[in-house]
Structure 1
């Protein structure tokens, strides 16, 4: 029985090596799309006045993928919700708006969390520009109401 266990575990290790050599196209693309960097950022203010409560960033990698990311200074309380929005101007997707809740995003920031990001959008169209927007909402029992927002500069 001990020999059978050793044989099975060895076969499992060998088989795992074969699978490790086969990489999905998404994994290869992700590995090649490094170099993500913030190209524009802005603080989030309540009532458009300091102090800031977090930051919104427009990010691009070296595969021309863009996304918005929001990071709050502290974890949100149970009555709060925050999201980032990626807005595209120009190009074939003029007016497109994606949020953290859009397919491929990480979901809005809710109680106990600090950050979220929108889906990544690939754009090789040099006429397209992007803006990252952040909005914070509070619900004290009457539904969520926007209490703060800000956006980055519009850029490519």
Structure 2
């Protein structure tokens, strides 16, 4: 949605036009489920050492929807990729794992981008907990290699 807003403002179509161009279901969902806020976060370190290169966030809205979001400090170079992973523990979906590339997610962070999010998962089951994980990969021509990973605390 942030990208859409930037594109619309660049084209001079800000304001109500953004709502008209968003899908009706997406506009209704965002209007009915405000209050999205990180409930847990952690810095992303390469080789587990500072400085940090971004943040992984576990986010929840007022409709009990949860998702993971990775936000890199700078746009990624062409040889890098990052993704967020949402892990659900407990309840009927115990062990479910979703990434930014899962249906309903925004796609992994690739060259020129800074952020992605997983699909939103609605959970009213108080025995269910969630963890957000960030992974960053580099590819210098011999395939993707994981260079960093960090996770948030498991929480509800």
TM-score computed with the length of structure 1 as normaliser: 0.83
CA shift in 2, pair 1:75/1:130, >3 Å: same
Question: Which position in structure 2 is the counterpart of 1:71?
Answer: 71
CA shift in 2, pair 1:25/1:139, >3 Å: closer
Unaligned runs of 5+ in 1: 1-19
Question: Which position in structure 2 is the counterpart of 1:54?
Answer: 54
Q: Check if 1:116 corresponds to 2:123.
A: no
For residues 30-69 of structure 1, the C-alpha deviation after alignment (integer angstroms, 9 at most, x for no partner) is: 3110000000000000011111000000000000000000
Deviation at 1:28, TM superposition (A): 3.0
Question: Which position in structure 1 is the counterpart of 2:43?
Answer: 43
Question: Which position in structure 1 is the counterpart of 2:94?
Answer: 94
**CA distance in structure 1 between the aligned counterparts of 2:29 and 2:75, rounded to whole angstroms:** 32
Unaligned runs of 5+ in 2: 1-19
Alignment partner of 1:74: what SS?
coil
Alignment partner of 1:104: what SS?
coil
Deviation at 1:25, TM superposition (A): 5.6
RMSD: 1.5
**CA distance in structure 2 between the aligned counterparts of 1:138 and 1:24, rounded to whole angstroms:** 37
Q: Computing the radius of gyration over CA atoms, which structure comes out larger, 1 or 2? A: 1
Alignment partner of 1:28: what SS?
helix
Alignment partner of 1:30: what SS?
helix
Q: How does 1:116-155 map to 2 (within 5 A)?
A: 116-155=116-155
Aligned pairs, number: 135
Deviation at 1:26, TM superposition (A): 5.3
